[in-house]
Every structure is written in C-alpha cells, then in structure tokens.
Structure 1
Amino acid sequence: MLKNVEAVIFDLDGTLIDSMWMWKSIDIDYLGRYGIAMPDDLQKQIEGMSFSETAEYFKERFQIPDSLDQIKSDWNRMAWDKYLNEVPLKDGVVEFLEHLKMFGIPMGIATSNSRELVDLIIEKHGIKKYFTTIRTSCEVAKGKPSPDIYLLVAKDLGVHPDRCLVFEDVLQGIMAGKNANMKVCAVYDEYSDLQEKEKRDLADYFVYSMKEVLDM
C-alpha cells in the first residue's frame, strides 16, 4: 500500500476519530429547536460538504433565521463537550502515525469539520505533532467530492498528487481523493456500514482499522 507513496493524507471524522455517530444526534437536536423533524435523507445530502456549505444548506433548506456564523457557532458549542469527553481515536491510529513518522513520510489532515473542533480533538489526543499541515474544506472553493481540499494539502506537503495516499471513511471523501488522482484507502466506520461494498469498489484498498495497515 505504501509503495511509491511520498505523503499520507487523512480525513478526520470517521477515519482518525470515532465521531460520526454524534452528528446525527446533534442534527436532530438542532432542528428540534425550530420544531423540525430531521429528514431521512439529510445525512446523505450533506455528506462531504464543508462546515460552511452545510450551514448554508441548513439555512436554505430549513429556513433557519440565524446567520451562517451563528449556525456554525451553535454547532461547535453543541459538539464541544462530546469531542472533549466522548470521541476516541480509532483503533491503531497512534501506532500507524508513529510508523509513518519513523519512515519520514509527511502527513496532513483534510477535513470537512470546523477548525475549532479539529484543533480541540487533535490537541486532546496529542496527535497534532504528526501533521505538517491541517486544512479544512472551508479553506477551498468546494467541499468533497471536489478534489480541492486534497490538492491543497498535497501542495502544502510539496508532494505530487499521484504520490499521495488518502485515508477516508465515506463515499464523498473517497471520491474526492480519487478526483485528486491519489490512491485511496477506505476505512470501515459503523456510520457508513451500509456503504461498504460501494467503498470497496471505489477505493484502491479497504481496511477495518489502521492496525491492518501495519500488519500489511
């Protein structure tokens, strides 16, 4: 998997940390404030969107009266305690990051989450030191499946896209990596369990945890 790879880029939620489960409950609670039941298709519709794109989608679809900044601030506040106290690293993450560091392979994060929550969780788990660059989709023109975020991180790392390996847990993210002409390893996550066959078909590799990569 690491043959001819000069840099590794990770998604965050569902890939490095076990956090996808909590966003559905936050969406339910947030829409409940306005007396709106969460539609069944919501999670699929917003998958891959940047934090800002998601706020715009909510404001338009559900006619939320608050500003985009207020919507994002409310989400950060609702997620903060969960990220601080209930969101663990996924199995084998630290061991794999150490392995890459030992072999001098630079690493980056390309995430759709907010910068505030990204900084919180990587500081909490002590993994910030492994990453040369950390970018959010709010810093590029379009979120995933657009390749923009992955191309930006590759540029930061000074590595050509076809020499990058991406780790992603959802279809829109896998598509973003492939659209950037990078090799992609799909990562199992309970949240996207029903997408496993599609993830396997689309990605170059599939693993249930980072420990599998080390075993390879």
Structure 2
Amino acid sequence: MKFKGVIFDLDGTLINSMSVWENIGDDFLKSKGKVPPDNLSEILKTMSFQESSRYFIDKFHLNLSVDEVISEFNSLVEDEYKYEIELKKYVLEYLKKLKLKNIKMCIVTATDIELSKAVLTRLKILNFFEFILTSGEVDISKNDPRIYIKAAEMLGYLPNDIVVFEDALYCVEAAKKAGFYVVGIEDESAREDREEIKRISDIYIESFEEL
C-alpha cells in the first residue's frame, strides 16, 4: 500500500527490550515485602504504567502515589535503557529508507518518555521521529484505539494513510479497530499470541530485513 505516515511501537518492535520488563512487577512487589500472584504478568499485560501502578497501590495497600510507583519501575530498568538495550536488526536501514521517501514517523509507547528518549538518543535514531506519544501523557492505554487516533491527528494524516507497527496482540487489535493498516512484528515475548497476531495483522514480518 501507499502510505504517508508510520506509527511505531517501541519495545519489542524497534528495540529488543521486552525481557527487561518480564519480571518487573514481581521484583517491585518483592522489594515491598509482598508476594506476587502467579499470574501477575498476565494481569499487567495490557495495562499502562498508570493502570498497573493503581493496581499495585489498591491491591497491595501500598502507601505510595501513582507517580512514586512509576518512578520506582523506571529506576529498575533505567540503566538498561541508558546503556544496554539494542535495536532490532535492520531497523536503522528501514528508518533510513522511509526518511528518503519523506514518510513522517512517530512512536506510540507505554514506556516513560525520558527512558524512551534515552535509548533512542543512544541508538542515534531519535531524530527520525516527529514525536513520541506515551500512554502516560494522554492517560490512554495502548489497548485503546484512541491512542492511535491521537497519534494520527498529531502526524496530520487519516488512519488510512498510516501504517502501524506492533508486536503485541492487544496493540494490534486496538490499531485495527481504529482503522489502520497494521504490520505485526515478530518478538519472542508474544510467542503465545503469534498465530492470532498473524491472523489479525495485514502483514506479519519476522525481521525488518523483509521490508
């Protein structure tokens, strides 16, 4: 298809970072002397940081604010974003290709804006993007189609002029509901949902090399 804009997810799509978040909820609760439920990762799977913070505060009776919980989450992964996490293969080449075609690009992510900027700056790709829209700043989770509509408005295009790249099933579903053409991205963290992502996505790729 011909398109004018691209909305990229960050974690698991552009960067290899999902393993960093795999046990974050367990680690946080244990640091507070709490016992994490066995299905915690499933509970948190589609939540924004604001939603998961409220869940922890309410469920485990923590004497913390939402902002304080988010700050602790971020501190647990800060060094990884600043120094360790790498791009997925062929991402840089694809971004350069889009830039040459004057395709406007942005990022929609649940990750904190400062962490996002830190990793993108270190990897030298921040300047490819018009903006970074986080679920925290608009208080809209990535399982809500409205966050993709908001990004489209900020890019200045209609959904049918934009391609969305996502690795998580609930995000693929939300983007499709909003009327976007969706490219499903292979990531190990979504292995259990792989066939459903393939079914829902307009196309599915295992690597940006295919593009």
Partners of 1:174 and 1:18 lie apart in 2 by 18
Amino acid aligned to 2:203:
Y
8 Å Cα contact 2:3-2:163 kept in structure 1: yes
For 1:120-135, list aligned pairs within 5 A.
120-135=118-133
Aligned to 1:83: 81
8 Å Cα contact 1:18-1:90 kept in structure 2: yes
Amino acid aligned to 1:41:
N
Aligned to 1:32: 30
Q: 3-state SS of the aligned residue for 1:16?
A: coil
User: How far is the alpha carbon of 1:62 from its aligned partner?
Assistant: 2.6
Aligned to 2:165: 167
User: How far is the alpha carbon of 1:93 from its aligned partner?
Assistant: 0.7
Count residues in correspondence.
211
Partners of 1:159 and 1:197 lie apart in 2 by 30
Q: 3-state SS of the aligned residue for 1:91?
A: coil
User: How far is the alpha carbon of 1:147 from its aligned partner?
Assistant: 1.1
RMSD of the TM alignment (CA)?
1.4
For 1:103-122, list aligned pairs within 5 A.
103-122=101-120
Aligned to 1:13: 11
Aligned to 1:137: 135
Aligned to 1:48: 46
Amino acid aligned to 1:29:
D
Unaligned runs of 5+ in 2: none
Partners of 2:174 and 2:186 lie apart in 1 by 17
- Worse overlay, 142-151 or 42-51: 42-51
CA deviations 1:119-167 (Å, max 9, x no partner) are 1111111111100121001132421211122111111110101111000
TM-score (norm 1): 0.92
Amino acid aligned to 2:208:
M
User: How far is the alpha carbon of 1:40 from its aligned partner?
Assistant: 3.2
Identity of aligned residues (%): 36
Partners of 1:200 and 1:113 lie apart in 2 by 24
8 Å Cα contact 2:109-2:142 kept in structure 1: no
Aligned to 2:60: 62
Amino acid aligned to 1:74:
E
8 Å Cα contact 1:140-1:148 kept in structure 2: no
Q: 3-state SS of the aligned residue for 1:184?
A: strand
Q: 3-state SS of the aligned residue for 1:56?
A: helix
Aligned to 1:197: 195
4+ residue runs over 3 A deviation: none
- Worse overlay, 157-166 or 83-92: 83-92
Partners of 1:40 and 1:96 lie apart in 2 by 39
Aligned to 2:98: 100
Partners of 2:86 and 2:180 lie apart in 1 by 27
CA deviations 1:9-46 (Å, max 9, x no partner) are 10001001111111123222211112333333222222
User: How far is the alpha carbon of 1:5 from its aligned partner?
Assistant: 1.2
1:182 alignment partner, one of 145, 156, 180:
180
User: How far is the alpha carbon of 1:58 from its aligned partner?
Assistant: 1.9
- Worse overlay, 196-205 or 27-36: 27-36
8 Å Cα contact 1:146-1:176 kept in structure 2: yes
